[in-house]
Structure 1
Amino acid sequence: MTALQHIRKNKPVIHCITNYVTANFQANALLALGASPIMADLADEVTEVTSFADALVLNFGTLQQHSELAMTRAGQKANERGIPVVIDPVGVGAIRSRLAMCQRLLQVVNPTAFRLNAGELAAIAGEQWEARGVDAGSGEANVQEMARFVAEKYDAIVVVTGATDLVVSARQMFEITGGDPWMKQVTGAGCVLTTIVAAFATVNTDAETIQQGVRFYKKVAEHARQAATGIGQFQVECLNYLQMEEL
């Protein structure tokens, strides 16, 4: 049984404390993949929700006053239960308060995986980088070396998206090409990948399994681009192809 077939058979519950701009896209993507999304983010409810979830996503896209407390409570419950925690530290390379929050969170929550761009990775690794909002920006540091450093420091899988995606652990590194440039034109394409990483992590938390999810999503984008005549249709076709069998 492949990892994708395992997800579709078991329908894992993915608890997402996430970006309200893209929550609908993420939820629909998880449903298409075969998982079961729940987007609960009130600090008073996240511990209960995480107690029956199969994985947890912590996405920094649209932080609110209660977000840090909610993420901390949910993350600690997930660690207690031994379920995957996937962190998407949106904007930490450009906004100091976000980086400070991420650093505090990482002191009390053990991540299973990070899904980020090079600028966010550099911020977490403590390297100089010129980030541009939520975009990757540019810098001279070696992305592979930074990814390996963060993977070893946090004993986590690091998924770095870019022209070539990287999936890095302390022992393995995969380079994944493909996808389509239109993914940059659809708000939430990266957030969707974060939820896919979480779904695949319910099968196994090793780099080999995670890279299967990243490769599948790249193929989804390629097929969606062939079927679409514009950006709006491209997003819909991504959902359609996420529902397909192995591509």
Structure 2
Amino acid sequence: MTALQHIRKNKPVIHCITNYVTANFQANALLALGASPIMADLADEVKEVTSFADALVLNFGTLQQHSELAMTRAGQEANRRGIPIIIDPVGIGAIPSRLNVCRRLLQAVNPTAFRLNAGELAAIAGERWEARGVDAGSGEANVREMARFVAEKYDAIVVVTGATDLVISHQHTFEITGGDPWMKQITGAGCVLTTIVAAFATVKQDADTIQQGVHFYKKVAERARQTATGIGQFQVECLNYLQMEEL
């Protein structure tokens, strides 16, 4: 049984404390993939929700006053239960207050994986980088070396998205090519990948299984571009192809 078949058979519950800009896209993507999303971020209920989830996503896209407390409570419950935690630290390379939240969270919670761009990776690694909003920005540090450093420091898998995606653990390195440039034109394309990583991590919490999810998403984008005539249709076609068993 492939990892994708395992997801479709077991329909894992993915608890997403995520951002309101892309929550709908993420939820629909998880449903198309075969998982079961729940978007609960009230600090008083997140521990209870995480208690029956199969994975947890912590996305920094639209942090609010209650977000840090909710993420910490949910993350600690996920650690207690041994389910995967995927952190998507949106914008921490450009917004110091978000980076501070991330640092405090990492003192309280042990992540399974990070899904981020080069600018966000550099912020966690403590390297100089010129980030621009939620975009990757530019810098001279070696992305592969930064990813390996973060993977070893936090004993986690690091998924770095770019022209070529990297999936790095302290033991393995995978490069995944493909995809389509139109992914950059859709708000939430990266957030969706984070939820896909979470779903695949419910099968096995290792770099090989996670890179299968990243590779599948690249293929989804390629097929969607073949049939879409514009950005709006492209987003819909991505959801359609996420339902496919094989690509």
- Please, what TM-score do these two structures have when normalized by structure 1? 1.00
1:246 Cα deviation from its structure 2 partner: 1.7
Residue 55 of structure 2 is matched in structure 1 by: 55
Residue 193 of structure 1 is matched in structure 2 by: 193
- For residues 227 and 152 of structure 1, what CA distance do their matches in structure 2 show? 41
User: What's the % identity of the aligned pairs?
Assistant: 90
- Note if 1:205 corresponds to 2:205: yes
Q: What SS is found at the alignment partner of 2:111?
A: coil
- For residues 111 and 133 of structure 1, what CA distance do their matches in structure 2 show? 24
For structure 1, the residue ranges without an aligned partner over 5 or more in a row are none
Q: Deviations over 1:106-133 (max 9, x none)?
A: 0010000000000000000000000000
1:217 Cα deviation from its structure 2 partner: 0.1
- Note if 1:12 corresponds to 2:20: no
- For residues 66 and 108 of structure 1, what CA distance do their matches in structure 2 show? 16
1:79 Cα deviation from its structure 2 partner: 0.2
1:32-71 matches, cutoff 5 A: 32-71=32-71
Residue 112 of structure 2 is matched in structure 1 by: 112
Residue 96 of structure 1 is matched in structure 2 by: 96
Root-mean-square deviation (CA, aligned residues, Å) is 0.3
1:1-247 matches, cutoff 5 A: 1-247=1-247
- For residues 141 and 113 of structure 2, what CA distance do their matches in structure 1 show? 21
- For residues 189 and 91 of structure 1, what CA distance do their matches in structure 2 show? 15
The letter of the residue matching 1:105 is L
The letter of the residue matching 2:144 is Q
1:221 Cα deviation from its structure 2 partner: 0.1
Report the count of equivalent residues. 247
Q: What SS is found at the alignment partner of 1:218?
A: helix
Q: Deviations over 1:188-234 (max 9, x none)?
A: 00000000000000000110000000000000000000010000000
1:6 Cα deviation from its structure 2 partner: 0.2
- For residues 185 and 31 of structure 1, what CA distance do their matches in structure 2 show? 22
- Please, what TM-score do these two structures have when normalized by structure 2? 1.00
Q: Deviations over 1:83-116 (max 9, x none)?
A: 0000000000000000000000000100000000
1:44 Cα deviation from its structure 2 partner: 0.3
- For residues 206 and 71 of structure 1, what CA distance do their matches in structure 2 show? 23
Q: Deviations over 1:22-65 (max 9, x none)?
A: 00000000000000000000000000000000000000000000
1:186 Cα deviation from its structure 2 partner: 0.3
For structure 2, the residue ranges without an aligned partner over 5 or more in a row are none
- For residues 224 and 155 of structure 1, what CA distance do their matches in structure 2 show? 35
